C-alpha cells in the first residue's frame, strides 16, 4: 500500500512528486499569495503522512538546496508527532541538494519545519488571556479579513510593545509570546506585578494571520515581507503593519521587541539598533545592559553569535525594530531563536522546541523590568 500525503489544513504546505510503499519524493512549496501566485521565498513545510509500514519510510525533499536558506538544512532535524502526541525530532540528513527525513512506523504522522502554532490555538490564547485580565482589542484586519488583535496588560505609564510572527513560518515566536503571557498574567509572580505597575504592555501575538494559515515562511497574502514594510506600509500591500504602526504612534513606545526565528544560526540572540545614524550613547548603554541582564536570566540567551551590524544598509529603516528605535529613541530589539537547536545547550531529543521558546519568553520579563526601572521617568 502506498503512502498518502495531505497538506490541506491550517499552515499545510508541501508538493508531492512521487509516492511509493516506503518512500516519497517531495518538494518544498514557495510562499503563496491570495491570487494563487507564488512569491520568492520557500522554506516552510507541514504535512501529514499516512500508511507508513513497519519498516518506516524515507522522504526525500529534492529541492532543499534551492530553498531560501539552504544552510538552514545543515544540522537540522524535521519535527513530527505521531497520533497527535508530543512533537519530536526525526533523523534528517542533507547532502547539499536533497534533504532526507526518516519516518518511523505510524498510522498517521504529522511532519513540519517547526512545531506549528495554529490559528485555532491563537484564538484560544487570546480568549485565555482575556479571561485572566488582559484587554483584547482589534487593531484591524489582514488582507484576507482575519482579525489582527492586540492584548493590553498592565496600567503603568511606560508603553512596552511586543510583536511576533511578522514572518509567519517562525512559529517559535508565538510560542515565546505564549510563555511570556502566561507569566505576565500570573498574579503570584512578583516580576509580573512590578511590570504591570510600571508599564502597559501592548502585545500582538500574530502579526501575519494570513501567512500563518497559508503556510508561508515570510510573506502575507500579497506576497509582502512585513519586516520590510515599516517605512511605508500601505493598506493594499501591508495593512497589518499599517495598523500596528499607527497604534504604536498613538501610545508612544518605551521599549519594543520584535520576535523571530533564524533558519541558520543555532543560537538565541538579539539584533539592536547600533547601525542607525542617530543611535546615541544612552541607547548603546541601555541595549548593553539589557543584554547583560538577559544573559543572567536565561542560559539559552547569549551575545557572542548573531548578525553583524553591517547586515542592513539602505533598507534598514524598513525593519520594525530599526524603525521604532529610530522614531522613539527607545530600546528596540529583534529577538531571534533557532529552528535547529541552541548549540550552547543542545537537546538531543527535542532540539529547540515550543517549550524552550515559551520558557525564554517568560525569562525575558525580568530583564524588561530592570530596563524599565533604570529608565523610569
Ligand atoms: Zn524573521
CATH number at residue 27: 2.60.40.3120
Cα–Cα distance for residue pair 110/125, rounded to 1 Å = 22
187 and 309 share a domain?
yes
Could you tell me the distance, in angstroms and rounded to a whole number, from the CA of residue 259 to the centre of ligand 1? 8
Could you tell me the distance, in angstroms and rounded to a whole number, from the CA of residue 276 to the centre of ligand 1? 20
Cα–Cα distance for residue pair 18/247, rounded to 1 Å = 48
Q: Parallel, antiparallel, or unpaired: how do β-strands 106-112 and 99-103 relate?
A: unpaired
Q: Which residues of the chain have pLDDT under 70?
A: 311-314
Q: What pLDDT score does 118 carry?
A: 98
67 to 29, 111, 115, 216, 375: CA distances (angstroms) = 9, 18, 19, 13, 43
36 and 99 share a domain?
yes
353 and 243 share a domain?
yes
Backbone angle region of 228, left / alpha / beta, with phi > 0 → left and psi within -120 to 50 → alpha: alpha
305 and 174 share a domain?
yes
220 and 368 share a domain?
yes
Q: What pLDDT score does 277 carry?
A: 86
Q: What pLDDT score does 117 carry?
A: 98
The values of phi and psi at residue 62, to 5°, are -80, -15
Q: Which of 78, 75, 64, 68 is nearest to 27 (CA)?
A: 64
Could you tell me the distance, in angstroms and rounded to a whole number, from the CA of residue 311 to the centre of ligand 1? 14
76 and 180 share a domain?
no
Residues around ligand 1, an ion, CB closer than 5 A: 167, 170, 260
Q: Cell numbers at residue 57, please?
A: 519510510
Could you tell me the distance, in angstroms and rounded to a whole number, from the CA of residue 330 to the centre of ligand 1? 21
75 to 41, 88, 89, 356: CA distances (angstroms) = 21, 15, 12, 19
Reported as half-sphere exposure (CB side, CA atoms, 13 A), residue 209 has a value of 22
49 and 139 share a domain?
no
283 and 323 share a domain?
yes
103 and 151 share a domain?
no
The values of phi and psi at residue 315, to 5°, are -90, 15
129 and 105 share a domain?
no
**Domain-ending residue, one of 62, 93, 112:** 112
Could you tell me the distance, in angstroms and rounded to a whole number, from the CA of residue 258 to the centre of ligand 1? 9
Reported as half-sphere exposure (CB side, CA atoms, 13 A), residue 113 has a value of 32
Strand order in the sheet with 46-52: 4-6, 46-52, 106-112, 79-82, 88-89
Q: What pLDDT score does 312 carry?
A: 65
**Domain-ending residue, one of 112, 139, 167:** 112
Backbone angle region of 25, left / alpha / beta, with phi > 0 → left and psi within -120 to 50 → alpha: beta
Could you tell me the distance, in angstroms and rounded to a whole number, from the CA of residue 113 to the centre of ligand 1? 14
Could you tell me the distance, in angstroms and rounded to a whole number, from the CA of residue 286 to the centre of ligand 1? 23
Residue 165 sits in a domain of what CATH number? 3.40.630.10
Could you tell me the distance, in angstroms and rounded to a whole number, from the CA of residue 229 to the centre of ligand 1? 13
311 and 364 share a domain?
yes
Q: What pLDDT score does 239 carry?
A: 98
**Domain-ending residue, one of 112, 138, 173:** 112
Q: What pLDDT score does 315 carry?
A: 84
Domain tally, the chain: 2
* pTM for this entry: 0.98
Q: What pLDDT score does 38 carry?
A: 96
Active site residues: 336
* Residues 6 or more apart in contact with residue 23 via CB below 8 angstroms: 3, 57, 58, 59, 60
Instruction: Give the domain range for residue 322.
Output: 119-375
52 and 133 share a domain?
no
Contact 149, 142 (CB under 8 A): no
Q: Parallel, antiparallel, or unpaired: how do β-strands 92-94 and 15-19 relate?
A: unpaired
Instruction: Find the helix or strand (DSSP H, E) in which 111 lies.
Output: strand 106-112
Q: What pLDDT score does 310 carry?
A: 73
Q: Cell numbers at residue 182, please?
A: 502566561
Could you tell me the distance, in angstroms and rounded to a whole number, from the CA of residue 18 to the centre of ligand 1? 32
Q: Parallel, antiparallel, or unpaired: how do β-strands 88-89 and 79-82 relate?
A: antiparallel
Could you tell me the distance, in angstroms and rounded to a whole number, from the CA of residue 82 to the centre of ligand 1? 28
Instruction: Find the helix or strand (DSSP H, E) in which 18 lies.
Output: strand 15-19
Amino acid at each position: 500500500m502506498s503512502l498518502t500525503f495531505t497538506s490541506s489544513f491550517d499552515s499545510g504546505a508541501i508538493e508531492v512528486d512521487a509516492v511509493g510503499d516506503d518512500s516519497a519524493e517531495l518538494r518544498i512549496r514557495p510562499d503563496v499569495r491570495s491570487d494563487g501566485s507564488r512569491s520568492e521565498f520557500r522554506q516552510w513545510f507541514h504535512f501529514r503522512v499516512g500508511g507508513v509500514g513497519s519498516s518506516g519510510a524515507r522522504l526525500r525533499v529534492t529541492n532543499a538546496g534551492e530553498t531560501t536558506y539552504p544552510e538552514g538544512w545543515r544540522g537540522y532535524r524535521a519535527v513530527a508527532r505521531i497520533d497527535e502526541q508530543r512533537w519530536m525530532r526525526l533523523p534528517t540528513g542533507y547532502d547539499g541538494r536533497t534533504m532526507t527525513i526518516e519516518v518511523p512506523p505510524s498510522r498517521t504522522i504529522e511532519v513540519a519545519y517547526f512545531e506549528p502554532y495554529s490559528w485555532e490555538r491563537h484564538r484560544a490564547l487570546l480568549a485565555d488571556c482575556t479571561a485572566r485580565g488582559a484587554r483584547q482589542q482589534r487593531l484591524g484586519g489582514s488582507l484576507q479579513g482575519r482579525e489582527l488583535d492586540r492584548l493590553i496588560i498592565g496600567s503603568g505609564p511606560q508603553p512596552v510593545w511586543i510583536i511576533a510572527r511578522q514572518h509567519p513560518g517562525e512559529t517559535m515566536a508565538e510560542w515565546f509570546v505564549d510563555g511570556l503571557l502566561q507569566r505576565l498574567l500570573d498574579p503570584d509572580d512578583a516580576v509580573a506585578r512590578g511590570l504591570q505597575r510600571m508599564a502597559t504592555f501592548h502585545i500582538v501575538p500574530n502579526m501575519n494571520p494570513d501567512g500563518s494559515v497559508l503556510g508561508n515562511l515570510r510573506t502575507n497574502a500579497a506576497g509582502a515581507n512585513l519586516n520590510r514594510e515599516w517605512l511605508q506600509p500601505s493598506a493594499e500591500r501591508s495593512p497589518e503593519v499599517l495598523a500596528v504602526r499607527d497604534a504604536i504612534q498613538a501610545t508612544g513606545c518605551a521599549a519594543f521587541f520584535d520576535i523571530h526565528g533564524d533558519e541558520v544560526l543555532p543560537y538565541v540572540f538579539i539584533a539592536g539598533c547600533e547601525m542607525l545614524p542617530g543611535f546615541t550613547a544612552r541607547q548603546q548603554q541601555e541595549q548593553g545592559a539589557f543584554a547583560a541582564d538577559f544573559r543572567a536570566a536565561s542560559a539559552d540567551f547569549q551575545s557572542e553569535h548573531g548578525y553583524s551590524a553591517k547586515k542592513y544598509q539602505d533598507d534598514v529603516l524598513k525593519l520594525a525594530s530599526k524603525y521604532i528605535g529610530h522614531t522613539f529613541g527607545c530600546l528596540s530589539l529583534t529577538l531571534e531563536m533557532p529552528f535547529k537547536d541552541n548549540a550552547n545547550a543542545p537537546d538531543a531529543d527535542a532540539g529547540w522546541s515550543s517549550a524552550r521558546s515559551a520558557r525564554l519568553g517568560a525569562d525575558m520579563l525580568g530583564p524588561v523590568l530592570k530596563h524599565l526601572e533604570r529608565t523610569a521617568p
